[in-house]
Amino acid sequence: MTSSRPCVLVFAGLDPSGGAGLTADAQAVAGQGAHALTVCTALTVQDNDRVHGVQPVDAAMLLLQAAALTQKIAVSAVKIGITGSAANARAIAEVIVRLREQQPELPVVLDPVLASGHGDLLSRDDAVQALAPLLPLATVLTPNGVEARMMTDATQAHAQAAALHASGCQHVLITGGHDDGDEVVNRWYAPAATATATAAPASPATAAALGTDAGTVGRACVGGGGAALVREWRWARLAGEFHGSGCTLAAAIAGQLALGLPLTDALDAAQRYTWHALRDAYAIAPGQRIPSR
Ligand SMILES: Nc1ncnc2c1ncn2[C@@H]1O[C@H](COP(=O)(O)OP(=O)(O)O)[C@@H](O)[C@H]1O
Ligand SMILES: Cc1ncc(COP(=O)(O)O)c(N)n1
């Protein structure tokens, strides 16, 4: 019998260094046992450290790429990296809305890349404003601490998550790769209404609905202001700098969701996969290393 794999529709840019963007996403999705359908949103000029230029693909071309794939191939999850332009972000939103007419539960993982690790621009338009049509469609948003601050103007993770939920995204994983300390802390927030239910004495039914175990539900910490911390992970901080860590994490989450895993398991497995990829990262030149995916 022919074997098959669930597909992740990836919208991302080409990073010719192979560390981030489409290449990273295809490797990370494959690493979960799923298959990446790679729609190119932008061509970039970059090495393993710096971005020297960005050329967004025309929105019409993006739509043609997506249409050719989705007319023939079933999509089990969507992953969005850089869009390259506000017009491309709107086009991606259009594709997702159309897919959700048939698949209302289609998971969408949005990595709100505002700039490279060194702060180089990766969008033709204002990257924060360009994200607006995509936020209400995101099942999981994976900002790092810097991105969460730029998107909300809030300084505390809890307030950032509340503001991001108010923009319409469901789950927020604020990642701590850019913070200080011996550990990288990643925090998963859900809208308060959802998490209030989950923080009630851990009934098996509630736990099952969230796709989490009763222990996690029991530890959920409810906060005010529209966001609640569902769970936090602490990872030993690895030395050095990496090119494509955020892409690896978001694509791995999408791959896990495409396999049908509950969100808590998907977040857990994707972070473990990313940590190992960074631990085994390799050099191609001085500077940021490439995750071993
Ligand atoms: N130095 C590190 N040590 C261990 N894990 C890391 C390190 N840097 C990044 N990671 C992992 O990769 C994830 C994404 O990286 P991060 O730097 O937060 O995002 P981005 O690449 O989007 O800036 C982190 O949440 C963490 O799980
Ligand atoms: C095409 C492209 N997409 C994304 C990133 C950011 O990568 P990361 O934040 O994972 O290091 C990048 N440098 N290039």
The finding on whether 175 has its CB within 6 A of some atom of ligand 1 is yes
- The values of phi and psi at residue 288, to 5°, are -60, 140
ipTM of the complex: 0.98
pLDDT at 116: 86
**Which fold is adopted by the domain 7-171+239-279?**
UDP-N-acetylmuramoyl-L-alanine:D-glutamate ligase (3.40.1190)
Nearest ligand to residue 11 Cα = 2
pLDDT at 233: 98
* 190 within 8 A of 198, measured Cβ to Cβ: yes
Using the 8-state DSSP alphabet, how is residue 200 labeled? Answer: S
Task: Considering every ligand atom shown, identify the ligand nearest to the alpha carbon of residue 38 and give its number.
Answer: 2
100 lines ligand 1 (CB under 6 A): no
Give the nearest ligand 1 atom to 113 CA: 22
Q: Which numbered atom of ligand 2 lies nearest the CA of 44?
A: 1
Domain limits of the chain? Answer: 7-171+239-279
Ligand with smallest separation from the Cα of 251: 2
Low-confidence stretches of the chain (pLDDT beneath 70): 194-225
- Determine the Cα–Cα distance for residues 48 and 266; give it in Å rounded to an integer: 28
Predicted pLDDT of residue 225: 55
178 touches ligand 1 (CB under 6 Å) = yes
Task: Note the pLDDT tens digit of each residue in 153-177.
Answer: 999 999 999 999 999 999 999 999 9
Residues recorded for the chain = 293
The 8-class DSSP code of residue 45 comes to E
Sign of the torsion formed by the C-alpha atoms of 95, 99, 169 and 186: negative
* Distance from C-alpha of 113 to C-alpha of 17, rounded to nearest angstrom: 17
